[in-house]
Amino acid sequence: MHWQTSILLGVLVFVACLTVLRTPRRVRRWIILILPMPLVVLIYRWAAYRHTWIDLAAALGMGLAALGLWWALLGRRLPAPTDETIRVWTKDDPF
């Protein structure tokens, strides 16, 4: 088992799931089609080519555990994202 690969895949799973959770509801379907779906296909093909299903299972477990930890510690208290709460950084209006 390659831990570096599992950690990298776990981070990818965490970021993809976090991106879906923190997008507004009206664009969530498009975000799922753009980011997680191609990522799932690529990771599945990679695991099938390398025959590293154990690494993939460990990565999914780590990514989902990290997402659950993030949700328990911080995510529940964050307000739901809406178009009004999204701010864009510009040179004239920085945070």
pLDDT digits (tens, 9 = 90+) for 50-94: 999 999 999 999 999 999 999 999 988 888 778 777 777 888 877
Please indicate, yes or no, if residue 90 is contained in any of the structural domains: no
Segment of 18-27, 38-47, 71-80 carrying the highest mean pLDDT? 38-47
Return phi, psi of residue 77, to 5°: -85, -15
Please indicate, yes or no, if residue 32 is contained in any of the structural domains: yes
Q: Nearest to residue 14, comparing CAs of 80, 60, 55?
A: 60
In the block, tokens 């997008």 appear at 23
Please indicate, yes or no, if residue 38 is contained in any of the structural domains: yes
Please indicate, yes or no, if residue 92 is contained in any of the structural domains: no
The rounded distance, in Å, linking the Cα atoms of 60 and 42 is 14
Residue 57's Cα: distance from chain center in Å? 16
Please indicate, yes or no, if residue 46 is contained in any of the structural domains: yes
Kindly report which listed range (3-7, 19-23, 75-79) carries the lowest average pLDDT score: 75-79
Distance set, CA 1 to CA 35, 45, 51 (Å): 27, 18, 11
Tally the domains of the chain: 1
Please indicate, yes or no, if residue 89 is contained in any of the structural domains: no
Residue span of the structural domain in which 57 resides: 3-77
